[in-house]
Every structure is written in C-alpha cells, then in structure tokens.
Amino acid sequence: MPLSGNLQSIWMQSKREHVAQVAYNIQGWLDKNKDPIQECVVQLMAEAKEPLVSLFFKEPEEGRQRSALN
C-alpha cells in the first residue's frame, strides 16, 4: 500500500536524518558465535514440515561428513 504524500514526505525526511555510516569489525565473529545447538532442537528442526529447514538439520548421508559449521 503506497504512503500518502504527506506521510511519505515525513518518512523520507526521517530516513535522511537517521542515515549514518557505521563500521563493523567482523574479525573472529564466526569463532565467537559458534554456540552449540542442543540435540533436541536439532531433532525438532530435522522433523520440520518446511523442507528447506529440515534439509539443514538432517543427518548426513552415509559416507558424507557434516559441514564445518557443525
């Protein structure tokens, strides 16, 4: 639904006032955020009705290893 003229003008002004450059340091981010997932959560997600979700949590096929993220 498109914004009315006045509301869109206010939104655009607000957006311009709050835009700022932000720098992020991602060095070591993955290592710091490798929290283990409880096995009961993994099992629940593997049984999800959403195919993409269950795909990420299914046990690997015989002869294949899990990804480095696990």
pLDDT at position 23: 81
Give Rg (Cα) of the chain.
Answer: 22
Strands (E), 1-70: none
pLDDT at position 9: 67
Kindly tell me if the per-residue pLDDT of 55 is higher than 90.
Answer: yes
- What does the pLDDT look like over 11-39, one tens digit per residue? 666 555 556 777 878 888 878 778 888 99
Q: Rounded to two decimals, what is the model's pTM?
A: 0.42
At 68 the three-state DSSP class reads coil
Question: Do residues 59 and 68 lie in contact, with contact meaning Cβ atoms separated by under 8 Å?
Answer: no
